[in-house]
Homo-oligomer: A and B are copies of this chain.
Amino acid sequence: MGNSNNNKYNFNPKLNKSMISKQKLFALRLNHRPHRDLRISTHTALVARAFGMDGIFFSGVPDKKLCERVNRVTENFGGDFLIKTGCEWKKVIKYWLSQEGEIIHLTMYGLPLLKVIEKIRNSPKDKLIVVGGPKVPREIYSLATYNVSITNQPHSEIAALAVFLNGYYEGQELNFEFKAAKMKIIPSKDGKKFAT
């Protein structure tokens, strides 16, 4: 504790994702239901973007509104971020495995993050991070290269994804810059400051 991991807090506001990780990072969120899941899925996609992933796939029902919301943030705040809804989860996973990528399934039943994150970080393979909706198909557990738990307590796939990425990038994602941003927030002690 105390000063033990100051290395993590190597504050550098000019980082971008490709300086830290050469691997592609995509998320797959299972079984999106428009309307009912719109807010939860928007949070999940925005976390994927803000914490340095390349894109997110949603299985379940196609949802134009979800894509529009997320694309509007990308247009304003910059960077490249792909969002696709209405995907077939098994096809996405099989394709990913056929391209020599690996599958990381975040689940409260998996192995603790702290036991596997070093190995995942050091692997040169592209990563597909799968986060559940309700009723995760049993097959996902065996197709996954890693089943990883972010605590063994029930909480939130949004939090799980953020904490996984925070561990993967060792906190450096907090300093990522997004290219071609129309809007930029200037960190401030006590107010709202924008640069446009």
User: Within 8 Å CB of A196, what residues of B?
Assistant: none
Q: Nearest chain B CB to A173's CB is how many angstroms away?
A: 7
User: Within 8 Å CB of A158, what residues of B?
Assistant: 43, 156, 158-159, 162
- Complex Cα gap A14–B166 (Å): 23
**Contact with A176, one of B110, B122, B151 (Cβ below 8 angstroms):** B151
Chain A 78-111 interface mask (CB, 8 Å, partner B; 1/0): 0000000000000000000000000000001111
What is the total number of residues of chain A having a CB less than 8 Å from a CB of chain B? Answer: 71
A18 within 8 A of B: no
Binding site for B on A (CB under 8 A): 1-9, 11, 20, 39-40, 43-44, 46-47, 49-51, 73, 77, 108-115, 117-118, 122, 141-142, 144, 147, 149-156, 158-163, 166-167, 170-176, 178, 184-193
